[in-house]
């Protein structure tokens, strides 16, 4: 799935697409973000952000992690991807 690039900064969980001005999802980073959300039940944002950096090799600050979790963008992106996938599969199965 590709989304339109809205700012200069590329958010954690995405990479720049070959198409100029678009972003692609990085599945391994999104999975790590889901695991990180569970770790936040017992650990601080700083600890989890450091863990994410070690796990994925990509930096995210504790403030950036907090924004991703609080705004729901971590799980929202996953839900959008699944919804778009189901729309594509439904439209490809129905032919006129």
Phi, psi dihedrals of residue 7, rounded to the nearest 5°? -150, 180
Phi, psi dihedrals of residue 43, rounded to the nearest 5°? -125, 165
Residue 86: is its pLDDT beyond 60? no
Q: Which two tokens stand for residue 52?
A: 């994410």
| pLDDT tier for residue 73 given thresholds of 50, 70 and 90 | low
Looking at every residue in the chain, the average pLDDT score rounds to 82
| pLDDT tier for residue 96 given thresholds of 50, 70 and 90 | very low
Q: What pLDDT shows up at residue 78?
A: 53
Q: What pLDDT shows up at residue 71?
A: 84
> Residue ranges of the domains in the chain?
2-73
Mean pLDDT value of segment 34-46 = 94
């Amino acid at each position: 799935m590709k989304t339109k690039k809205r700012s200069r900064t590329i958010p954690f969980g995405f990479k720049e697409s070959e198409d100029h001005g678009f972003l692609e999802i990085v599945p391994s980073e999104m999975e790590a973000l889901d695991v990180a959300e569970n770790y936040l039940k017992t650990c601080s944002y700083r600890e989890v952000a450091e863990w994410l950096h070690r796990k994925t090799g990509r930096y995210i600050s504790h403030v950036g992690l907090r924004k991703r979790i609080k705004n729901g963008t971590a799980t929202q992106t996953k839900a959008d991807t699944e919804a778009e996938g189901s729309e594509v599969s439904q439209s490809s199965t129905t032919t006129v």
